[in-house]
Chains A and B, each alone.
Chain A
Amino acid sequence: MRGRGFRILLAAALLFMAPLRGGPAAQELIADLSRHLVAITTGFAGTEVLLFGATEKAGDIIIVVVGPTRREIVRRKARIAGIWVNDAKLAFKDVPSYYGLAASRPIETLLSAAAMRRHGIGIQYLSLNPERQIDDNELAEFRAGFLRYKILNGLFTVRPRDVVFLGKRLFRSSIYFPANVPTGTYTVQVFLVRDGRVVSAQTTPLIIAKVGVGADVYHFAHNSSVLYGIIAIVVALLAGLFAGVVFRKA
């Protein structure tokens, strides 16, 4: 099981060394993270990752963090016979499991709605594609419900976190990941904005992975579920018998 942890580290290191997409040769924008691997260990209760960088000339910074995409099912409750019951559902294809946002100034003052949509900045511009045909009003309701749920669980950011400039060119910000953060490869996009236009952008990967005993238990439960089940029973039986013997003597 040590091998897996090592492979994850290696993958993170390779990604880190890979040339960064975007950004003209002049290096108008350079940014990096305090770490490229967030390890979910036994004591994990959410964490912050520091993002820092520098710009060639003055400008504003917008940071977008997108988690791995997956299929998510949204269910709506309705009151039936006095009890709240899930009665309708809608699956969205390829939606980001996490969406973080930070900016040095209110984004609406930096970019037009069209530009925000083009660059995928702001959760209101996420493309949420339903798997089945559904009328527009209901779709809007499900979309809004999905976003509220994600915001409530700390996985989507509505109000951007701050990007702080130190002087005119150095900036830093932090990205927060709650305890329930999904694992996978995240992309951290940093946009340099000047005069209402994105003049430079840089993308950096970030890996969130379960590491250590917790990860081993999780992978074991999913990959060798038969053996996991047997061990769970044996451990429980031994613990129970052990307790029975110990306390008889006491």
Chain B
Amino acid sequence: MQIYLPIAEISLDVFLLLGMGGAVGFLSGLFGVGGGFLMTPLLIFIGVSPAVAVASEANQVVAASASGMLAHMRRGNVDFKMGAVLVAGGFAGSSFGVWLYSALRAVGQLDLVISLAYVAFLGIIGTLMLAESVRAVLRRRRPGTQLRKLHQHTWLHGLPLKIRFRKSKLYISALLPLAIGFFVGILSAIMGVGGGFIMVPAMIYLLGMPTATVVGTSLFQIIFVTANVTFLQAVNNQTVDVVLALTLLTGGVIGAQIGGRFAGRLPGEYLRLLLGAFVLFVGALMMFGLVSTPEEIFSVSVGAAR
């Protein structure tokens, strides 16, 4: 059954979209990742223009992170003060990101930058995940005592504007979470992702936040930043397809629930190994799209009347 997407201006099979939403939702439930970084490339592969894919996916991530945050809030795992600082950085970053997006679109290089960003980030994240999970698998086979220092002092702790974050038991410069929020905000606008895959490791390793509050707090930031991206994309570029976002969401919610049930039954390091391999595969597909000789080197777009 075909469904006409009013903003993307193409017809796609509604079951294909639901299935994609379900599959990515399943993975996000299984691995505890947002899934935006997988969904946007998939949308591009099936023919949605990168501009619409990125903006609509940001809209879908609002919903996905809202339902995720709810669960973490009930368990008291959200550091609202830290979240607010991350949001402040995120608002600035995503606003700059949307401006950059519009500028790149005007000069015809948006699709290229989106693809390049994906190749770079999927490549890096996939490699890190693979390496980490291989180490974890080896460690599991050869158990030994391995202690990590809880807190290390670096130059990062010498920055001004120190704030106390009680929930996370931290006394650090606000500039650090502001910078992290800003950077993730840019990614959110350009790539249509929540950015959890960057923010979570940054919060653990750069800020030294306790793992328990990291996911809930990052989801809190993601809701506001993707909402800002959705709003700015809708106003500046009219590329947010609500029909597309809602269709993906419907499949995604169901898939995430099923994935969540499976999550407890499989060993974590093997799961991360699988996800890492999958992420690398998607990155390789994007890379292939960039380097392989295109069937047609000319493309046409409608220009604004002059």
Q: Which residue of A lies closest to B115 (CB)?
A: A83
Q: Which residue of B lies closest to A71 (CB)?
A: B303
Are A217 and B299 within 8 A (Cβ)?
no
B59 at the interface (CB under 8 A from A): yes
Are A145 and B296 within 8 A (Cβ)?
yes
Q: Which residue of B lies closest to A237 (CB)?
A: B66
A10 at the interface (CB under 8 A from B): no
Most chain A beta carbons < 10 A, residue from B62, B230, B234, B298: B298
Q: Which residue of B lies closest to A82 (CB)?
A: B291
Most chain B beta carbons < 10 A, residue from A43, A45, A243: A243
Q: Which residue of B lies closest to A44 (CB)?
A: B4
Most chain B beta carbons < 10 A, residue from A41, A225, A248: A225
- Please report the C-alpha to C-alpha distance between residue A124 and residue B4 in the assembled complex, in whole angstroms: 32
Are A239 and B249 within 8 A (Cβ)?
yes
B58-87 Cβ-contact flags toward A at 8 Å (1 or 0): 011011111110110000000000000000
A22 at the interface (CB under 8 A from B): no
Are B243 and A214 within 8 A (Cβ)?
yes
Are B234 and A232 within 8 A (Cβ)?
yes
Contacts of B249 on A, CB cut-off 8 Å?
236, 239-240
A181 to chain B, nearest CB (A): 10
- Please report the C-alpha to C-alpha distance between residue A97 and residue B304 in the assembled complex, in whole angstroms: 14
B36 to chain A, nearest CB (A): 13
B195-230 Cβ-contact flags toward A at 8 Å (1 or 0): 000000000000000000000000000010001001
B240 at the interface (CB under 8 A from A): yes
Binds B, one of A23-31, A85-93, A103-111, A164-172: A85-93
Binds A, one of B7-15, B127-135, B186-194, B273-281: B7-15
Are B245 and A142 within 8 A (Cβ)?
no
**Which of these, B67, B231, B300, contacts A149 with CB under 8 Å?**
B300
- Please report the C-alpha to C-alpha distance between residue A82 and residue B301 in the assembled complex, in whole angstroms: 24
Are A218 and B6 within 8 A (Cβ)?
yes
A65 to chain B, nearest CB (A): 19
B10 to chain A, nearest CB (A): 6
**B10-30 CB contacts (< 8 Å) to partner A:** 10-11
**B126-174 CB contacts (< 8 Å) to partner A:** none
Contacts of B233 on A, CB cut-off 8 Å?
229
Are B306 and A71 within 8 A (Cβ)?
yes
**Which of these, B59, B71, B227, B296, contacts A244 with CB under 8 Å?**
B71
Are A237 and B62 within 8 A (Cβ)?
yes
Interface residues on A, range: 35 or more
Contacts of B306 on A, CB cut-off 8 Å?
71, 131
Contacts of A240 on B, CB cut-off 8 Å?
62-68, 70, 249
B92 at the interface (CB under 8 A from A): no
B87 to chain A, nearest CB (A): 14
Are A75 and B294 within 8 A (Cβ)?
no
B238 at the interface (CB under 8 A from A): yes
A150 to chain B, nearest CB (A): 7
- Please report the C-alpha to C-alpha distance between residue A241 and residue B65 in the assembled complex, in whole angstroms: 9
- Please report the C-alpha to C-alpha distance between residue A229 and residue B238 in the assembled complex, in whole angstroms: 9
A47 to chain B, nearest CB (A): 11
A230 at the interface (CB under 8 A from B): yes
Are A45 and B2 within 8 A (Cβ)?
yes
B266 at the interface (CB under 8 A from A): no
- Please report the C-alpha to C-alpha distance between residue A222 and residue B7 in the assembled complex, in whole angstroms: 10
A210 in contact with B6 given A73-B302, A83-B290, A233-B230 (CB within 8 Å):
yes
B229 to chain A, nearest CB (A): 10
Are A73 and B4 within 8 A (Cβ)?
no
- Please report the C-alpha to C-alpha distance between residue A44 and residue B11 in the assembled complex, in whole angstroms: 7
**A195-226 CB contacts (< 8 Å) to partner B:** 210, 213-215, 217-218, 221-222, 225-226
A69 to chain B, nearest CB (A): 11
Contacts of A32 on B, CB cut-off 8 Å?
none
- Please report the C-alpha to C-alpha distance between residue A148 and residue B295 in the assembled complex, in whole angstroms: 11
Write 6 A-B pairs (CB below 8 A) sorted by A numbering.
A40-B4, A71-B303, A83-B112, A86-B109, A210-B6, A239-B63
Please give me the 3 A-B residue pairs with the lowest Cβ-Cβ distance, nearest first. Answer: A145-B298, A240-B66, A229-B234
Residues of B bordering A, CB below 8 Å = 1-7, 9-11, 59-60, 62-68, 70-71, 108-109, 111-112, 116, 223, 227, 230-235, 238, 240, 242-243, 245-246, 249, 253, 257, 290-294, 296-306
Residues of A bordering B, CB below 8 Å = 40-46, 70-79, 82-86, 89, 91, 97, 131, 142, 145-146, 148-150, 152, 179-180, 182, 210, 213-215, 217-218, 221-222, 225-226, 228-233, 235-237, 239-241, 243-245, 247-248, 250
Additional A-B contact list (4), CB under 8 Å, known A86-B109, A240-B65: A152-B296, A214-B5, A217-B6, A226-B235
